[in-house]
Structure 1
Amino acid sequence: MTDEMIVIGAQTKYPLNGILAFPEESNKLIPGVVLVHGSGPSNMDEKVGNIYPFKDLADGLSKKGIAVLRYDKRTFTYGKEMKKDSALSVKEETIEDAILAANFLREDSRIDPNQIFIIGHSLGGMLAPRVDAEGGNFAGIVIMAGSPRKLEEILIDQNNQVLHSLNKFLKVIASKQIAALSAKLENIYNLSDEEAKTTKVLGKHVRAYYLKEMGEHPSAKYLLALNKPLFILQGEKDFHVSVDNDFNGYQEILGDHPKVKYKLYPNLNHAFMPSVYGEIRKAKKEYNVAQHIDQQVIQDISDWIHSVSRSIITN
């Protein structure tokens, strides 16, 4: 395989460096994949601590005959100026660049333009059906550790997980902080867009508008409208999203849809690597342990993509 340095959105205000991992020369057109990051600024490898999930996916899938495109997230490269944008939403942060990346693959003469897939991880998984609907037009969608819920619901759940692990004294303080945050988040849909753009809800930079805009485009709406192959996978020891609310939540929405596959992996965490500490309070320590994505996960995604590709060619 070869790694080709590329630029996504070269003619736009926000060009992004990326890598196209390409298999050894093939005498036929091959499938292509766009990797879409989780939350927060992230480089093309989706580096957190000492793990590199997107590099693992790109290396693993390209060895199995699939071209994989990864790129720096817009907030990673242009974070300082984007923090000042009161109207920032997932559209500017993630969706626009994922669509540009899909089109980049379609223009590569070595790749079948009808076999472009998206793999979204975490927040990227939550957004993947919307990316598809707003111009991605993918052959199939892979959601890794995503959620059909609203982002603010997940944030409150994560805070409550931390709360339960604290001692009695700290619990009193933290519970008041979480109650105040919950009240803020519950009110965001009562705000006008202009009010939401001036209301900070998390830290110094996250405004209510970011959550409001995303919440007004619920995953369920896009999932129910989908009629294309979908692969939903999650690690059983994931402490960022939960099996009950998220993995099972997808099944409650989609049921036994014939084009949807689900898989839950024992003892794997949010990055699809072996669980180390298994609790959200130790997330930083968890990701400081150098590991790689479980090979079974890469094999399963590869098998699923090739299966969908064969059905496209046959039809």
Structure 2
Amino acid sequence: MKKLLLILTVLISTPCLGQNLEGSWKGIIEIQGTKLNLVFNFKEAGGNWSATMDSPDQGGFGIPMDEVTINQNKVLVKSKALQLTYEGTITKDCIEGIFQQSFLQVPLNLKCDTSEASQRPQEPQPPFPYQIENISFPSLDKSITLSGTLTLPDDLKKHPAVVLIAGSGPANRDEEIFGHKPFAVIADYLTRQGLAVLRYDKRGIGESTGSLRKTTTLNLAEDVEASIQFLRNHPNIQSNNIGLIGHSEGGIIAPMVASRDQAISFIVLLAAPGMTGKQILKKQNEESIQRSPITNDQKTKALNVAVQYLDYLAQTSSEGTSTEALHNTLDSIISINLAEDIFPQVSREEMIKSTNNNWIIYFLNLDPSEYLKKVHCPILALNGTKDIQVEANSNLERIESSVKNKELLTVKKYLNLNHLFQKAETGAINEYAQIQETFSEDVLKDILTWISRYIKF
């Protein structure tokens, strides 16, 4: 799930050198005594370079960069939207450079991360015993094209199908994060067992057109509906046997779609919110603030600011509000809470940028129960006890109370699994990369067993 970057906000796998930068490069910046991890993920195709940035301590992943220039031993990376520049010099085993964002300018030395690529044992590897189709389909209003991958059992029969729905943020078709590709793992497992699986890049990500910055959860639900239309017209798909598997925000989208399409066969909710969007984001900010290296008094002030600012945003128009109004309101909230020392001007600027969009306003006012109570197909809701992004107990309880026909609902909680369904020690976001497991095999087996109760394949 998205996290508001409310404290010290600097916004928001892999062989390395020779002079080959392709891969993930990690470093740490220090701001007012607080250290933040940053990762640049470089890719090269046909002589052209691209990059994304991760800010794992703040929950930002796969943030696309606008410009990447490699000139001999010089590296230049820019994001216009974030007013961000990284300029560095390639040395023998690192990139030494300067990170700039708005008025912030700090040293940032990056080292190539070679550890993670060899520690993703679940990532599917060819040859594959099934068909792989690179597909594309139009959005409902035909304004954008969504691109993805359809995996099909290797025969000429028609098969039941599943659509995978990613969580919030700039997710590609594999829902790739820290070198993990959970959707590739899920698709591979289910297709080997006889299910067709469709996964696709979000708007403006990967090979899909459009802009994610202008997108709301409702738009993303409409894209799922477009993917279902595509599957129903595919010659190798059983059009009456299509289910949805949604992770995190995707776990809200699945019931949104199923509540409007009574032909959906089943939905699986992975770490799905049951609480309202405002409740989720408040809880996430509380968790993030408690883990921040500031005093208890500062934590109290920061949480008060976060809660009051979210309350204000939830009351604004669905079309957003002016940047000036956001500035004035945020400045007033910070002043009332005597929190000027926690929120320097650069942090306030980034808070405004990260929250002045339609997605946040729509999500704050989103209540999953409004859709769950209208779902009439079987529902499987799963979560882990180490999930700190969508806390298991409160959200699963709300899902249970929202579903009218309890006979349709199966709920299971897994001990020590995090938001990605990895076996975890703490559940913290910066732990995801350190874990070799991509997605619990026990959960995969449970999903398959449950689906087989309702569909033959």
| TM bin (shorter chain) | 0.7 to 0.9
Higher mean displacement: 46-55 or 143-152: 143-152
**Unaligned residue ranges in structure 1 (runs of 5+):** none
Shift of 1:183: 0.8
Query: Are the structure 2 counterparts of residues 136 and 271 from structure 1 closer, same or farther at C-alpha, using a change threshold of 3 Å?
Result: farther
Is 1:123 aligned with 2:249? yes
Q: Tell me if the contact between 1:16 and 1:72 (Cα under 8 Å) persists in the aligned partners.
A: yes
Q: Please give the residue correspondences for 1:78-97 in structure 2 after superposition, counting only pairs within 5 Å.
A: 81-83=211-213, 85=214, 88-92=215-219, 94-97=220-223
Shift of 1:56: 0.6
Larger radius of gyration: 2
Larger relative contact order (Cα-Cα within 8 Å, sequence gap ≥ 6): 1
Counterpart of 1:278?
Answer: 426
Q: Tell me if the contact between 1:102 and 1:136 (Cα under 8 Å) persists in the aligned partners.
A: no
Shift of 1:296: 1.9
Q: Please give the residue correspondences for 1:48-127 in structure 2 after superposition, counting only pairs within 5 Å.
A: 48-77=177-206, 81-83=211-213, 85=214, 88-92=215-219, 94-127=220-253
Helix, strand or coil: the match of 2:143? coil
Query: Are the structure 2 counterparts of residues 134 and 226 from structure 1 closer, same or farther at C-alpha, using a change threshold of 3 Å?
Result: closer
Aligned length: 302
Counterpart of 1:204?
Answer: 353
Over the residues paired in the alignment, what is the CA RMSD in angstroms? 2.7
Q: Tell me if the contact between 1:42 and 1:75 (Cα under 8 Å) persists in the aligned partners.
A: no
Same amino acid, percent of matched pairs: 27
Query: Are the structure 2 counterparts of residues 218 and 68 from structure 1 closer, same or farther at C-alpha, using a change threshold of 3 Å?
Result: same
Shift of 1:151: 2.1
- Specify the code of the residue in structure 1 equivalent to 2:134: M
Q: TM-score under structure 1 normalisation?
A: 0.86
Q: Tell me if the contact between 1:99 and 1:136 (Cα under 8 Å) persists in the aligned partners.
A: no
Q: TM-score under structure 2 normalisation?
A: 0.61
- Specify the code of the residue in structure 1 equivalent to 2:135: I
- Larger fraction in helix: 1
Q: Tell me if the contact between 2:268 and 2:381 (Cα under 8 Å) persists in the aligned partners.
A: yes
Helix, strand or coil: the match of 1:114? strand
Shift of 1:188: 3.1
- Larger fraction in strand: 2
Q: Please give the residue correspondences for 1:185-224 in structure 2 after superposition, counting only pairs within 5 Å.
A: 185-196=310-321, 202-207=351-356, 209-224=358-373
Take 1:57 and 1:146, find their aligned partners in 2: how far apart are those partners? 17
Shift of 1:91: 2.1
Shift of 1:189: 4.0
Shift of 1:160: 1.5
Take 1:55 and 1:82, find their aligned partners in 2: how far apart are those partners? 22
Take 1:293 and 1:244, find their aligned partners in 2: how far apart are those partners? 20
- Specify the code of the residue in structure 2 equivalent to 1:105: L
1:38-95: CA deviation from partner (whole Å, max 9, x where unpaired): 0100111000102111001100000110000001111424799543x4xx42122x11
Q: Tell me if the contact between 1:6 and 1:17 (Cα under 8 Å) persists in the aligned partners.
A: yes
Higher mean displacement: 173-182 or 15-24: 173-182
Is 1:144 aligned with 2:292? no
